Structure formats: structure tokens, C-alpha cells
Amino acid sequence: MADVLPREVLICTIARLLDGVRHVAVGASSPIPAAGAMLLRAVKEAGGAIGPRISILGSVEHNFFTNGSAELFDCAGQGRIDAFFLGGGQIDGFGNVNLVGAGDYPRSSVRWPGSFGSAYLYFVVPRVILFREEHTPRVFVEKVDFISAPGVSEDGVFRSGGPIALLTGKGLFRFDKTRPGFELESVHPGHDLAEIKEATGFRFAHDAEPRQTALPDRSTLELLRGRVFDELAETYPEFAAQMRRDLGTVDA
Amino acid sequence: MVLSEPRVLAKHIEPGMRVALPVDYAGVSMAMTRAIIEQGAGHLDLVCVPTGGLQVDQLIGAGLVRSVETSAVSLGEAGGAPRFNAAVKEGAVRLIDATCPAIHAGLMAAQKGSPFMPLRGLIGTDLLRHRDDWRVIDNPLVDGGDPIVLIPAIQPDVTIFHVPAADRFGNVWIGRRRELAAMAYASRTVLVTAERVVEKNLLADEASAAGVLPALYVTAVARAPKGAWPYGLWGEYPADSAEIARYAKAARTADGFSAYMAQAQMEPA
């Protein structure tokens, strides 16, 4: 079997972070989080357990909603969505997310699409996973230019959800809301602590010698490359094809 | 109900009106975009339910937009919305940044005839800081504390969307895209384009009646085959992503935008 691809490490890490959720929602253009959720479902079902329900926004196949685009948010408000993913043009060391733009608002020098549902979902979804493959100082900044959604809230503000982890192309961080701040949990194969420090604009806690991100075992990898990539191809055909091309390269 | 055409529907749109438009995949009446631009009513205040794309970008590019209330504007996989982004940089449109459930909450308040709807979240965001129309109160039903945001009712002057079918009585099929109903309930005028107009009464069949927006809320209907193009329409046809990408590239400059809009290929092939 081929070596594990960097994106397979990300997918398997997401599946681990989602362990135990009943219902996970995934954005329309988020193939890696969707693959992580599908992998968890495949692993659970292979073990005879019930896998999580997966809602992919904008998909017809993976959409249980009949009440328009408001239903996802109502569902989250009722506590029926356990996990969600957020990216961000900027993410800072306090877990604040900026989806609006860089520079002074409203005349941002770089404008991103906007906050979408983040200013609500970050508050009410218990397990929000921050996911951004690009790990550079322009993304991971000391302080975001605009807070679309705050990492933590003052005492007394209703908050049943928030960030639990930050996954990047270089490593996995856990979020500690008591400090608040990130702690480097593990480093992906091929990267190291010095490189991550260099690429991160905020300070974070870490061990002197952080461990490597766990790699999937053989049976998990077989499920991923078989059933999960088949399922993924229905909603994200180009991504699934690209993953299979990349695997072909590694196999050769 | 008199069956109309997009050009006639556009006459309902007057300068300074507040216009609600649906998200990419819910049924965007692209057939109305050109009609609105030809009609030429400016100073429009757009409400994107809850996000905007091609139609919003084209109306901004045509110089008809005064403000945009939205949770996001983008062309999806084709990238950022070029005329929107340029207008932001120039300060040419007033930005009213929101979050998806706040737009839905505002429409729901209007649907109920209530002045506002409370919504969780938002506290501590810069969205709230820049919204002087959103208010924070302490939950009056508990003993002290528990701040919550009040979203004022959103009452558009006009709502515009596209559906697969309308009947000759003015009932329109919205299926599970219930946000189209919410927009219609909240709006004074509702303009609908449809792929086809059927003879039977859509409300007559119990199995489909719940997916129908009754004529009660519909001001006018026009037939517009492929009326969402280059967007797709649920249950009918997929998006033409090559055409959306072609627009995204062309509209990077104001001149490129004008050239794109001037050419005859505004209709599907």
C-alpha cells in the first residue's frame, strides 16, 4: 500500500476529532472535512456501530433539510448539530476568526466573501474545528483585523459552542478556552516545530519536542481509499479524482 | 393573475427600493437581472438571503446599488465577486455585513408582523459593533444578565426569484426552498419568473400543495425558460460553471464587465 499522503493525514485527523458526534455539518466547498466525516462514518459502520449523520450544505444527496437555508441554523440553535468547520482569511491566537477582510473595515484592502453563518454557529455548535490548509503568518495572525466570530465570550454570554481545535497543513493545535489560546498537539510528517513557529503569527504553547500526528492504520486507510473516496466522488468529483491521481503517483 | 414577461416585471422596481434576492442555489432569477438593468432604477438597497453572487455583482457593476445587506458575496468556485470587491475598495456601496441566521431572523420577524426577533450569538463580533440597527438587551424572562441581540424586521419592497413552475392562477412551486416563502411573506411586492406555466392548479394536489407558495403572496409571474442560467435550478439543470468563470474573469475590470454585459450571449445557448 502506498505511503500516506499529507491530505490523507488531514482527513484521518478530522475523523479522530469528530469521534462521538451524532450530526456534523460541512460546507459546500469543504471536501477534506467532508471526507473526514465520511471516514468516521465508514469506520463506525465497519465496527458495527452507527456512524454520524452528515449534512453537506448545498448538496442534494447529503441534505436532510426541507425548510430552506434557515433550517441548518435553527437545527444548530436546537443543539442538533454537534460539529462544524470554519476556515478564515485570518485566525488569531485567541481563536478569533475573520471572514470579512484585511485592513480597515469597511473599505478593506482585501475583501473576502463575508461572515456567512459563523457569527452564530461558533456560539452554538459544541465542536467547531478550525481548518485551514495554508499555514502562513498572513493567515495565522496575532490579532484579526475584523472579528466575524470570537474564540471566547465574556462570562454571562450564552455560549454552548466554540473552537476545540485548529488543523493546518503543518500541524494540529488544541484550543484552551481558559487561557485562552492554542497548544500545539502534534506536527504532521515532514514538518517540525521551528518551521511551525516561523509560519505562525501568534504565540502558542507546545512541548519541547512535540509528537508527530498519528498516521492511520492499514484498515482505516483501506476504508478511506475505497468506500470513502467513492462516496466523496458523488459530491466532490474533482477532489476525489485528484486524490486518486495523487495516490497513483505514490503507488508508482 | 396576468402572465407577464421579465421586462414588464422590472417596471415594479423604482429608485431607492429595498430588494431581496435569494442565495445561488435557491432559484436566482438571472432572467430579471438584464431587465432590471434596462429598467435602470438606481439607489437600490439589496438584501441577500442570506448571501449574494452573480446577480448582486452585476447589479453593483451596473451602478444601480446603494447598499448591500448580506452575510457574504462571492462567485463560489469561480472566486471573489469582482464588481462587489471593487465597489468595497472604492467605498462605492454601503456595506451592511450580517450573518446568515440574522437575515433569516429579520425576515421571520416581518413574516410575523413583529418589530424584531431575538438571536443568540453575535455578541463580541465586529458585525454587531458596526450595526447600529441591532440592539442588545438583557433577556427579560430571567433574573438579570443573559444579553441577547434583537434583529429588526426586514421588510423588502420587492422580492425577486425563479422557480421551476407556476400555474395560471399565480401559485408558484418552491419545493423545499422555504426561504423563498419567507422572503415573499416579508415583502410588499413579489416578482417571480418560472421555467414553465402549467394549466393545472398547483394547490389542487395534496401531495405537492405544501411546496407551493400561494398566489396570495405573488404580485406577478413571467415565463423565463433557463431563467436561472448560468446558475442552476434545483431539480431542473446544473449551474454552468464555465460561464460563471468566464464572467469572473471578464468582470475583473469595469471595462471587461461592460463588454461582457453588452454582448448578446446573455442568454443560454
Quote ipTM for the complex.
Answer: 0.95
Assess B76–A contact: CB distance below 8 Å, yes or no.
yes
**Stretch among A79-83, B24-28, B260-264 having the lowest mean pLDDT:** B260-264
| CA–CA distance, B201 with B205 (Å, rounded to integer) | 8
Nearest CB to A118 within list B74, B85, B99: B99
Please report the number of interchain residue pairs, chain A to chain B, with beta-carbon separation below 8 angstroms.
141
Q: Give A105's contacts in chain B (Cβ within 8 Å).
A: 126, 130
Measured between alpha carbons, how far is A27 from A120 in angstroms, rounded to an integer? 15
- Give the residue from B125, B134, B237 with the most A CB atoms within 10 Å of its CB, the best one to mutate: B125
Q: Residues A49, A18, A100, B241: what is their CA dihedral angle, to the nearest 10 degrees? A: -40
Q: A99 contacts in B (CB within 8 Å)? A: 72
Alpha-carbon distance of A231 to A233, in angstroms, equals 5
Distance from CA of A16 to the nearest CA of B (A): 27
Question: Residue A252: its pLDDT value, please?
Answer: 41
Spatial distance between the Cα atoms of A131 and A97, rounded to a whole number of angstroms: 11
**ω into residue A180 within 30 of 0, thus cis?**
yes
pLDDT digits (tens, 9 = 90+) for A149-158: 999 999 999 9
Host H or E run for residue A171 = strand A171-176
Instruction: Choose the mutation target among A30, A69, A116 for the interface with B, i.e. most B CBs under 10 Å.
Output: A69
pLDDT tens across B207-263, in order? 889 999 999 999 999 999 999 999 999 999 999 999 999 999 999 999 999 999 998
Q: What percent of chain B is helix, strand and coil (3-state, nearest 5)?
A: 35, 25, 40
The distance of A30 to chain B (nearest Cα, Å) reads: 11
Which of A83-92, A131-140, B172-181, B256-265 shows the lowest mean pLDDT across its residues?
A: B256-265
Identify the band that residue B268 occupies on the pLDDT scale cut at 50, 70 and 90.
Answer: low
With 0-12 CB in 10 A as exposed, 13-18 as middle and 19+ as buried, what is B262? exposed
| A113 closest CB neighbour out of B74, B122, B127 | B74
